[in-house]
Structure 1
Amino acid sequence: MIVTHSGRFHADEVFALAMLKFLPEFKDQEVLRTREADDIEQAEIVLDVGGDYNHEKKRYDHHQNSFTEQRTNGIPFATAGIIWRHYAESIFKQMGLEADNEIQFAVKWLDAKLIEDLDAVDNGLYSDDPRPSVSLLVAMMNESSDEPEKQQAAFDKAVNFASDVLKNFIQAAINQAQVVTELEAKLDTLENGIWVLDSKAPFKDFIQNRPEIQRVVYPRNEEQFGVYCNGKENHLPERFRGLREGELSKVSGLEDTVFCHKSGFMAVTLSKESALFLAKSV
């Protein structure tokens, strides 16, 4: 039996439960929403309630003063992040990812894209932030009524929603991770901060923590090549920004430019040579 708390639900424990349901050992387990100590004691796994964190005993609460763990970026763990930390590798293996470096990349990618935000909201870091978020969407799925049956139905609907969201994120993480080895093999084309790719691949997340890669030249499709800049400090020069076709060709001296974004973070040309020229421009 899996136990989590009764009353209003939050994205934290909803997503934690949805994660566990990807694994065969938890998929068909009964879920009980309660705060009763006897029920918590008898549960096989406890989420977000009970005042205890002990992985060996499968107790995963984070509200007690004794729990102070946080990520290297300062975002503290909540139950979603704790469950992800302990079970993410198993989830990806269950979904067919095998290589260790790909799994590690996927785990970190999804944590940064989704889980750490759930944890931050649950720990009150964004309590005054008016932005819509996944946490807000889940919170709004609570019933206004206090009737237990209606709230249970709302909770079940929220878990299904979280499962669908996670499934899409997991597949995206797998897609990203499966090109890691391929992209690592292409790093030998990096020269003076310019990385030239000979095929289209999802490289943007791959380069985020690689400051040695300043700009990337890559094929966008069969007719166009792109320049992508890794960080604001590497954006293309002001003289190119916001210009299109004839105007950009006049300023650059090229004949096959398409446009440069007004912020300078990317540009498009019709040839690899022209894209490389823009990428090398200062």
Structure 2
Amino acid sequence: MSAGTTSPVIGTHNGHFHADEALAVFLLKLLPEYRHASLTRTRDAEVLKTCTIVVDVGGVHDDNILRYDHHQREFTATFPGKQTKLSSAGLVWMHYGKRIISAVTGLDVQSADSELLYQKIYEEFVEAFDGNDNGIAAYDPTALRTAGIEKKFSDKGFSIASVVNRYNYAPSAREGAVGPTENGTTTSGAPAPKGKSQDEEDSRFLRASAFVGEQFSLELEDRFQSWLPARAVVKQAFSERQQYEPKGRIIVIPYRSEGVPWSDHLYALEEETGSQGQVLYALFAENGEPNSKWRIRSVSLDGGSFENRKGLPEAWRGVRDEELSRVSGVPGSVFVHASGFIGGNVTFEGALEMARKAVQI
């Protein structure tokens, strides 16, 4: 760094931390201007004034002065087209998401692909951070109680937010824990306090931020390298589905060595064409060899659901090989899962015949 220049400083609050600011800080450091920024964790208003950019503290949301807090009473901002109030993670993503995508993937900020990723990653990843931090449940708890729906087990320790919370109490005296630097400053960039409490807290925060950051990076990498290219493949398959079944209830997904994440795109294409719920089964090869076996997969009611639009016939479920071929009337049948969500045949023609029979039963 040349003489006279000052390293940028990211500011956030000290004390107990949450998943949203842990992600917000990681996201900012993906941008070129903050890649080498130091971090100050404090609630001291005078110290925060010296920070280049501040998230999750300060009582101000103003993009013009790089302040991104969401705790003020009058704050109501949401991501475009959404209803979930933003947290610091959502604020950073809303203002910088397209630039972050460009910095990581090389996509043009104004490209259609960048817009798709910007929207998808908010919906599938960032929005949950916003909802959790603002106390917004995925389902209306009053409606669930009214309907008499009770949870079968506790899953509160299973979320990213709960994992981040554990870092608040985790010991920092581990390999890789970060303490004071040689110049007497903590990783936050602030003077090292007497004792180790602030150092330990900063260390735990950085570990939590690295954890949520890794999850984000994996999400973006998968969406960019696999999900995004798959859209064109699924769109082509969707347009050709009537050749396999007149009502378009069967889709055939071409084999690709890296796989084709088809379900998200199928739901989107159905919505775009006004044919929601039409496709019942997807066919795909187990590998790229000419003699590959084929699978038949029931389409889920929606993304992440364990319920199917139409499971494979009850009489086929849990049956294998020759017995399944006899029961189904389709030679070469290999198996159907006991739940009816997937099955297989030794040939494409056999799998297609199974699907054609299944839509009629």
Could you tell me the TM-score, scaled by structure 1's length? 0.89
* 1:242–1:65 distance in 2 versus 1, CA, 3 Å: farther
Mapped partners of 2:234, 2:106: distance in 1: 17
2:319 to 243, 259, 266: 243
Whether 1:207 aligns to 2:256 is: no
1:155 to 183, 191, 205: 205
Whether 1:101 aligns to 2:112 is: yes
Mapped partners of 2:119, 2:132: distance in 1: 19
* 1:66–1:27 distance in 2 versus 1, CA, 3 Å: same
Whether 1:190 aligns to 2:266 is: no
- 1:134 aligns with 160
Mapped partners of 1:56, 1:239: distance in 2: 64
Mapped partners of 1:271, 1:167: distance in 2: 38
* 1:164–1:189 distance in 2 versus 1, CA, 3 Å: same
Structure 1: which 4+ aligned runs deviate by more than 6 Å?
none
* 1:261–1:101 distance in 2 versus 1, CA, 3 Å: farther
* C-alpha contact 1:103 1:177 (8 A) present in aligned 2: no
* 1:233–1:179 distance in 2 versus 1, CA, 3 Å: closer
- 2:297 aligns with 228
Could you tell me the TM-score, scaled by structure 2's length? 0.71
Query: How many Å apart are 1:86 and its aligned residue?
Result: 2.2
2:350 to 259, 264, 274: 274
**Equivalent residue runs for 1:1-40 within 5 Å:** 1-40=9-48
* C-alpha contact 1:97 1:174 (8 A) present in aligned 2: no
Q: Which runs of 5+ in 1 are unaligned?
A: none
Letter of the structure 1 residue corresponding to residue 40 of structure 2: L
* 1:129–1:70 distance in 2 versus 1, CA, 3 Å: farther
- Aligned-residue sequence identity (percent) comes to 28
* C-alpha contact 1:215 1:228 (8 A) present in aligned 2: yes
Letter of the structure 1 residue corresponding to residue 240 of structure 2: T
Query: C-alpha deviations, 1:39-90, integer Å up to 9, x for none?
Result: 2333221111112222232221112222223465643321112212222221
User: In terms of Rg, which structure is larger?
Assistant: 2
**Equivalent residue runs for 1:47-62 within 5 Å:** 47-62=55-70
* 1:273–1:98 distance in 2 versus 1, CA, 3 Å: same
- Alpha-carbon RMSD across the aligned residues, in angstroms, is 2.4
Query: How many Å apart are 1:190 and its aligned residue?
Result: 2.1
Query: How many Å apart are 1:19 and its aligned residue?
Result: 1.0
Query: How many Å apart are 1:137 and its aligned residue?
Result: 0.9
* 1:257–1:103 distance in 2 versus 1, CA, 3 Å: farther
Letter of the structure 1 residue corresponding to residue 264 of structure 2: D
- 2:332 aligns with 256
Q: Which runs of 5+ in 2 are unaligned?
A: 1-8, 142-153, 172-195, 243-247, 271-275, 301-307
Higher relative contact order, structure no. (Cα contacts within 8 Å, ≥ 6 residues apart)? 1
Partner of 1:179, secondary structure, is helix
* C-alpha contact 1:13 1:47 (8 A) present in aligned 2: yes
Query: C-alpha deviations, 1:153-204, integer Å up to 9, x for none?
Result: 1112222222222221211111211222333233321222221123232212
Mapped partners of 2:342, 2:39: distance in 1: 48
Mapped partners of 2:160, 2:222: distance in 1: 17
Report how many residues are paired.
282
Mapped partners of 2:24, 2:330: distance in 1: 53
- 1:43 aligns with 51
